């Protein structure tokens, strides 16, 4: 067995971005004690960088900080655009510097001792990985990229993703995916094994506390156990959805639910990607008097909102990219012990004993009624306890077993 001394995580979001959560950062945090952890910030792109003068001021050189034992590196020239080959030049420069760093830290044969992890949302980092030439490469498929509208409907972006996938599927030591649907599809497309490692959850962050208290860190030590300010004036019962509001959220279903249950408050927490949803339906939904959109909230505060809900909703469409996903919020919802109501997604099947799933979308309101009526303390406790085996630490253990069995690597 070859012992891995470090894992380089190619990030899909900036490390400190609080309103968006992702699998890559959770796994990096859960690898504590197994190996050194280096997290590479993704390039911001020219448009985003232009609106952030503070970022631009330091973006001409490598930046490093250490956060909870993780070394976070922001490569230089992350604002370089694709045109005129500027992005390619920036990637070559970043790869050369990272190569030197790893040589200094782990010796000239660092490729024998370092694992590079990259997810399917980091397709813009293809050039960096090609130049770095890692021996041990782990590719993680998080969504159905080729069916995702933001990719599928843009020929240049789709072509870039297909080139990225071809390289990763050819060169990776191991490929894992968050759902059986993704594993089957991409294993068939590229003719190689794809192992299933589902998403996970920070169980302690979301677990229910004693009655009347909100889970830490939603309140500081010694603070009065009060709900978040926005929730104080919202009538109960509260039906809550948290997460991105985009093409896989079933807006017609939410609109019907708000109309069918005017005595319930429908609370939405998350960023709306306006170009991906029907603008008319979205405005119509927000015009409902019992609908409250609170926009995004930091991950650290999210449990405080979830524990104010009477039921938690997963209203997903039946689109291909929706059905292939493994929603992070499903694990977070279940960890609270609160009743969960979902449309019929493959990801929900393993949790059917704890999720209220109607036979059709027309039955979603009735399933919500059943959740509010039938979900008692015993079921809530069993549900929350069941999530212990779905922690991010358990997922890292799963990945370590796959690496040992198929690559002869230990972490």
pLDDT at 109 over 50: yes
Q: How many CA atoms lie within 13 A of 172 on its CB side?
A: 25
- What does the pLDDT look like over 25-80, one tens digit per residue? 999 999 999 999 999 999 877 677 767 777 776 777 889 999 999 999 998 877 77
Mean per-residue pLDDT for 353-364?
A: 95
pLDDT at 257 over 70: yes
For residues 315 and 241, the answer to whether their CB atoms sit within 8 Å is yes
Q: How many CA atoms lie within 13 A of 99 on its CB side?
A: 15
pLDDT at 86 over 60: yes
Beta bridge partners of residue 265, listed in sequence order:
238
- What does the pLDDT look like over 388-408, one tens digit per residue? 999 999 999 999 999 999 999
The predicted pLDDT at position 130 comes to: 95
pLDDT at 220 over 50: no
The third-level CATH classification (topology) of the domain covering 2-200+391-410 is Rossmann fold (3.40.50)
Mean per-residue pLDDT for 132-146?
A: 97
Q: Give a three-class secondary structure readout of 17-75.
A: CCCCCCHHHHHHHHCCCCCEEEEECCCCCHHHHHCCHHHHHHCCCCEEEEECCEEEEEC
Task: Calculate the average pLDDT of the chain.
Answer: 91
The predicted pLDDT at position 83 comes to: 65
**Is it true that the peptide bond before 237 is cis, omega within 30 degrees of 0?**
yes
Mean per-residue pLDDT for 206-228?
A: 51
pLDDT at 211 over 60: no
Question: 2-200+391-410 with 203-389: one CATH topology?
Answer: yes
Q: Is the pTM of this model over 0.85?
A: yes
The predicted pLDDT at position 217 comes to: 40
The predicted pLDDT at position 357 comes to: 97
The third-level CATH classification (topology) of the domain covering 203-389 is Rossmann fold (3.40.50)
Per-domain boundaries in the chain: 2-200+391-410, 203-389
Q: Is 319 exposed, middle or buried (0-12, 13-18, 19+ CB in 10 A)?
A: middle
């Amino acid at each position: 067995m070859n012992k891995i001394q470090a894992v380089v995580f190619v990030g899909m979001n900036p490390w400190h971005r609080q309103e968006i959560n992702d699998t890559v950062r959770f796994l990096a945090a859960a690898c504590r004690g197994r190996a050194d952890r280096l997290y590479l910030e993704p390039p911001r792109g020219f448009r985003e960088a232009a609106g952030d003068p503070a970022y631009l001021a330091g973006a001409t050189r490598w930046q490093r900080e250490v956060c909870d034992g993780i070394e976070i590196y922001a490569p230089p020239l992350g604002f370089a655009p694709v045109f005129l080959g500027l992005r390619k030049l920036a990637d070559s420069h970043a790869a050369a510097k990272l190569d030197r760093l790893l040589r200094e830290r782990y010796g000239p044969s660092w490729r024998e001792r370092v694992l590079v992890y990259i997810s399917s949302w980091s397709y813009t980092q293809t050039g960096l990985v090609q130049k770095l030439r890692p021996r041990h490469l782990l590719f993680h498929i998080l969504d159905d990229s080729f069916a995702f509208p933001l990719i599928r409907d843009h020929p240049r972006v789709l072509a870039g993703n297909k080139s990225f996938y071809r390289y990763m599927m050819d060169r990776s030591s191991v490929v894992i995916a968050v759902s059986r649907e993704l594993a089957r599809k991409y294993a068939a497309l590229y003719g190689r094994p794809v192992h299933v490692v589902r998403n996970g959850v920070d169980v302690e962050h979301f677990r229910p506390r004693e009655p009347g208290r909100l889970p830490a860190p939603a309140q500081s030590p010694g603070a009065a156990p009060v709900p978040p300010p926005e929730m104080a004036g919202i009538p109960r019962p509260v039906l809550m959805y948290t997460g991105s509001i985009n093409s896989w959220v079933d807006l017609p279903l939410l609109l019907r639910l708000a109309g069918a249950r005017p005595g319930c408050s429908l609370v939405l927490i998350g960023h709306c990607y306006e170009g991906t949803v029907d603008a008319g339906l979205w405005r119509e939904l927000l015009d409902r008097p019992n609908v409250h959109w609170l926009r995004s909230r930091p991950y650290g505060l999210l449990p405080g909102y979830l524990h104010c809900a009477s039921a938690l909703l997963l209203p997903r469409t039946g689109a291909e990219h929706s059905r292939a996903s493994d929603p992070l919020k499903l694990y977070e919802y279940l960890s609270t012990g609160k009743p969960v109501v979902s449309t019929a997604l493959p990801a929900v099947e393993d949790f059917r004993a704890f999720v209220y799933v109607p036979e059709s979308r027309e039955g979603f309101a009735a399933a919500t009624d059943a959740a509010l009526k039938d979900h008692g303390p015993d079921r809530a406790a069993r549900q929350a306890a069941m999530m212990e085996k779905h922690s991010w630490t358990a997922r890292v253990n799963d990945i370590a077993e796959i690496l040992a069995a198929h690559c002869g690597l230990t972490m």
